[in-house]
Amino acid sequence: MTIKSVLILLIMAVASSYASAQDKPKPEEVALAMQGVADWQIEHFRDKFSNYPEPHDIRDWTHGAFYVGLMKWVDVTSDKRYLEWAKSVGERTQFKLHDRTYMADDHTIGQLYLELYRHYGDKRMLEPTQASLDHVMAYPSEEPISIDNYIHFERWTWCDALFMAPPVWAKLAKITGNQTYNTWMMAEVKATVDHLYDAEEGLFYRDSNYLTKRVNDRKVFWARGNGWVFAGLALMMDELPKDSAEYAYLLKIYLKMADTLVKIQTPQGHWSMSLLNAENFPTPETSGTSFFTYGLAWGVNRGILKDEKFTNAIFKGWAAANSHVTKDGMLGYVQPIGAAPGQAWPDKTETYGSGAFLAAGSEVFKLVGGHAPAQIADSKKLTAGMKSSNAKLDKELKIFHDPKRPRTFARYVPERKDDFAWENDLVAFRAYGPALRSGNEDAGIDCWLKRVNYPIINKWYELETKQNISYHQDRGEGLDNYHVGASAGCGGSALWINGKREPLETYTRASLQESTSKFVIFTLTYHKTINGDKYSEEKRIMLKMGSRMYAVESTFRMNGKIVENLPVAVGVTTHDGNAIATFDQKTGWLSTWEKMDGFGLGTGIFMDPKNIVQAVTTYNGNAPDTSHALYITNTDSRGKIFYYAGYGWEKAKDIKSAQEWQAYLTQFAAEYKTTQAVPKH
């Protein structure tokens, strides 16, 4: 053994001895540390973290984890200002979950709303979350449980999702008494466990990308991801009957994880960012360490963990995390947003780190004999911090909610027969949903002709549904005078069977996957049985600011299996022959131009020329909605096709003629050739 190795072992031994002999903290010391972190985070609530260009959305999962810890701090202190501040967050969001329909991250804030409901009993705090989860159950995801290069996020395909969403389901089940939420939750939890849990190690792989990955011949288990799992197990079990099969299932995993965690805790008291590879990841990380400390202390406080080794690990973990809190209350060494072991720095933090620390403190406080309300002095900087952060937030929200702010937007519209609508500064569209499956409508896409650069979707729907003011008339912003019916509309796809267009029925499920001011991505799922075969299409759509064309990546299956070389017809309606169709197969576009209510409208699609099999026009004079301009293409080896569709409207002034519309499509094709752009998650 080298002298260097001996010295390292000596240092580790001394550190281990010091940590194990760590004094039991006093309740007031724990509470003061929590107070400092809570006050600092509230004061800096609108700071920028993780090198993001803007502060996190207040519905973001990063804040959602902070709210979890903050509500536990509310239980420790008698200071109701914290509770009122948390309530003010919910008021500003109207107690709605974040935008993405199925994404576990966007459900995290539901934990705050349900805890607020427990304090106030106000159904406004409960109902939006319940409606969202009911929708997920009614239209379950058809994606696989594997994350597959980070494209599948509708189910709990990454381990930290077990903190984000399942506790919301468990809380809702307990509050409402409806065990359907627990049944659904446990089925998904078990799918995640079966996929990512290593029963031998008692740890979770972050996602499928790590199942076989090894570093220095060691499995890669991300500390923060496992910390969130461990905390999530505790949060779920708090809501479940202790004599239930669900509780027993989670408890078995919890106990194995707890046993592993005390064995791999570092001598310094923290847990390595790569749990089984501490020597290569020596930098402390406080968010994972805090959640491990929380989970262990939770178990001791409930009589689940009885051995002294667990208490020793808790005090070491708390001391390690607390040692990285600055004098003004900032928790350092919080790893920035990521998905794997990495770096952390003493002067960098994140809101979820503060939440984890507060959660840990709430259980350590009880463990060392603390009783609520904590006997600590009144916070001197809380009021000023709240005032400052609230002022910044209100300024942000005023800009964010400005109805004239140009941006992309998309949403499911249950109040109008399950439409799904999307728009940017130039164009707007909608697809027809489940409520119309018994009608004439199918997989066609409708154009909403807008002539303003700000969002009109919500406004027009509200005018029609609440004031009976029709959006089929132009009152200065545009109108919907574009007929779709059973046609393709603008960019609808259909099977091409025996020279005939066979559209699938209206979408059965919609999933919003990304929503920013600059772009939106969502997936619409279609089904239909044709000649005894069950076909499905997953149509992933992206629309960016400044473009008249929405991008489509569609995946087709037949009888549940990916189907290659399936002929698909993509195109636009020519409205019973009224629109003049032009094909430029060499460039890849097709266009139409027609007069509607006295103004010209150009619609069209673009696809890579090498994927075009043939150009087709269809028209059956005896049947409406059969007149089309189409390109026929074939699915590739992954069952996919790619294309774009959009429109230009003379009344909006940018596109004034068929020639200008075709010039736009030609320029669009040239830009595509340069960038080879396809929708990305």
Counting DSSP H helices and E strands in the chain, the numbers are 17, 23
442 is catalytic: no
Is 499 in contact with 512 (CB distance < 8 Å)?
no
Is 297 in contact with 314 (CB distance < 8 Å)?
yes
- Give which of 232, 231, 209 is closest to 220, Cα–Cα: 209
What is the DSSP-derived secondary structure letter of residue 454?
Answer: S
Active-site pick, 39, 57, 160, 480: 160
What is the DSSP-derived secondary structure letter of residue 548?
Answer: S
CA-to-CA dists, residue 587 to 546, 550, 570, 607, 664, angstroms? 22, 18, 16, 9, 12
What is the DSSP-derived secondary structure letter of residue 222?
Answer: B
What is the DSSP-derived secondary structure letter of residue 270?
Answer: S
Is 383 in contact with 88 (CB distance < 8 Å)?
no
What is the DSSP-derived secondary structure letter of residue 124?
Answer: G
CA-to-CA dists, residue 320 to 84, 283, 346, 439, angstroms? 31, 12, 13, 63
- Give which of 448, 449, 403, 421 is closest to 652, Cα–Cα: 449
What sign for the dihedral angle of Cα 201, 205, 208, 210? negative
Residue 622 half-sphere exposure toward CB, CA atoms < 13 A: 0
Q: Under 8 Å CB-to-CB from 6, ≥6 apart: which residues?
A: none
Please report, as a single letter, which amino acid is at residue 614: Q
535, burial (CB in 10 Å: exposed 0-12, middle 13-18, buried 19+): buried
Rounded-to-integer distance, Cα 470 and Cα 354, Å: 49
Concatenated DSSP letters of 378-444: PPSSHHHHHHHHHHHHHHHHHHHT-TT----EEEEEGGGTTEEEEE-SS-EEEE--GGGTTSS-BS-
Residue 525 has φ and ψ, to the nearest 5°, of -110, 130
316, burial (CB in 10 Å: exposed 0-12, middle 13-18, buried 19+): buried
Residues with a catalytic annotation lie at 160
